[in-house]
């Protein structure tokens, strides 16, 4: 080994000679090819949205736009048509925001209290409740849909924004509860006991002790709920009603049911606009997003 060099044998001393083997190149090659696979659709989406239709018809998907313009974006934002309505995708965006904000707040509020009660107080039946909630997280929504539609119509919430908010809260509960329960399970029970000894009641301990400690998990929960609810299609389609369709539903209607010639650049611009909010959350939150996936997925 010492005599690998052309010179006279060297007495091994100091750091081992560095050998950058083919394996190392292989690692990077694999990672770069994978990165291309993940990036190409994003790239295609962006360049298409910046091209005029003439250029797109030439059939060169990967070419950079000859003269980039935001016309398609403007059209997507304010003129894109769903059926006979041509008010653009911004209508959906407003609806999505109106649905998003109350849904996120409400689901986190209910989930955190439930998780807190389940992890520290464990009243009778807590285990059963938790088991059903967990199962609920995995059951296909299709089983719940029709009866929920009927219930919501009875209380006049069907086809309204409060109705969708309610549905998001219901189906966000399992994940939110799990998240907070696992988080609170990691807080030393002695802290809770000390608070009890000091005379703290259910709400006092929650509001003054646990909630201030919960900032990290609230951030994680907010990230998961914002992306999750923004990306929802099914509930928005069924419960919001035509006037209140969220952005995803409107986007699909724009792209998949437009009359006449398909305007791919407008479609892609609308798609990017719809993806902006979750992408922004993702890039800003970084590690928190990963943490959210992990804490939602793995037992804490």
Residues 143-202 that bind another protein (CB under 8 A): 143-148, 150-151, 170, 173, 177, 199, 201-202
Q: Please identify which residue in 5, 7, 38, 215 interacts with another protein, judged by CB under 8 A.
A: 38
Q: Please identify which residue in 77, 116, 180, 192 interacts with another protein, judged by CB under 8 A.
A: 116
Q: Which contiguous run of DSSP H or E holds residue 288?
A: helix 287-297
Rounded CA-CA distance 138/162 in Å is: 24
Rounded CA-CA distance 191/189 in Å is: 5
At 84, list the tokens. Answer: 């006979």
Contact segment (CB under 8 A) with another protein among 71-79, 155-163, 214-222, 267-275 equals: 267-275
Q: Please say which residue, 41 or 212, places its beta carbon nearer to another protein.
A: 41
What SS3 class is residue 82? strand
Q: Per rule CB under 8 A, is residue 17 in the interface with another protein?
A: yes
The minimum distance between CB 11 and another protein, in angstroms, equals 6
Handedness of CA 296, 142, 235, 41 (dihedral sign): positive
Handedness of CA 253, 255, 261, 266 (dihedral sign): positive
Q: Per rule CB under 8 A, is residue 140 in the interface with another protein?
A: yes
Q: Per rule CB under 8 A, is residue 25 in the interface with another protein?
A: no
What SS3 class is residue 141? coil
Q: Please identify which residue in 6, 20, 21, 62 interacts with another protein, judged by CB under 8 A.
A: 62
Q: Please identify which residue in 52, 102, 136, 241 interacts with another protein, judged by CB under 8 A.
A: 136
Closest CA to 117 of 176, 159, 36, 198: 176
Per CB under 8 A, contacts with another protein among 191-250 are: 199, 201-203, 227, 230-234, 238, 248
Q: Where are the alpha helices (DSSP H) in 117-242?
A: 126-138, 142-154, 161-185, 189-197, 202-204, 211-213, 215-231, 234-235
Q: Per rule CB under 8 A, is residue 103 in the interface with another protein?
A: no
Per CB under 8 A, contacts with another protein among 40-59 are: 40-42, 44-45, 48, 56-59
At 264, list the tokens. Answer: 């791919």
Q: Per rule CB under 8 A, is residue 105 in the interface with another protein?
A: no
Q: Please identify which residue in 129, 187, 191, 218 interacts with another protein, judged by CB under 8 A.
A: 129
């Amino acid at each position: 080994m010492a005599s690998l060099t052309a010179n006279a044998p060297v007495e091994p001393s100091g750091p081992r000679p560095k050998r950058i083997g083919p394996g190392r190149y292989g690692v990077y090659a694999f990672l770069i090819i994978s990165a291309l696979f993940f990036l190409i659709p994003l790239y295609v989406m962006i360049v298409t949205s910046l091209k005029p239709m003439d250029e797109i018809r030439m059939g060169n998907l990967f070419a950079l736009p000859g003269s980039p313009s935001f016309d398609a974006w403007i059209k997507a934002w304010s003129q894109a048509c769903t059926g006979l309505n041509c008010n653009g995708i911004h209508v959906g965006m407003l609806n999505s925001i109106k649905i998003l904000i109350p849904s996120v707040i409400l689901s986190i509020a209910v989930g955190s209290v439930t998780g807190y009660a389940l992890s520290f107080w464990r009243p009778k039946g807590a285990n059963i409740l938790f088991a059903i909630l967990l199962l609920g997280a995995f059951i296909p929504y299709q089983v719940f849909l029709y009866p929920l539609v009927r219930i919501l119509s009875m209380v006049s919430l069907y086809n309204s924004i409060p109705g969708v908010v309610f549905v998001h809260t219901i189906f966000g509960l399992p994940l939110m509860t799990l998240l907070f329960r696992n988080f609170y399970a990691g807080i030393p029970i002695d802290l809770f006991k000390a608070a009890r000894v000091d005379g703290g009641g259910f709400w006092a301990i929650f509001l003054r002790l646990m909630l201030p400690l919960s900032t990290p998990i609230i951030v994680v929960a907010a990230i998961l709920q914002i992306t999750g609810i923004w990306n929802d299609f099914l509930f928005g389609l069924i419960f919001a009603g035509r006037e209140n369709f969220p952005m995803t539903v409107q986007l699909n209607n724009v792209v998949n049911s437009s009359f006449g010639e398909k305007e791919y650049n407008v479609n892609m611009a609308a798609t990017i606009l719809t993806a902006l909010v979750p992408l922004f959350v993702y890039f800003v939150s970084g590690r928190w997003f990963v943490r959210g996936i992990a804490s939602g997925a793995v037992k804490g």
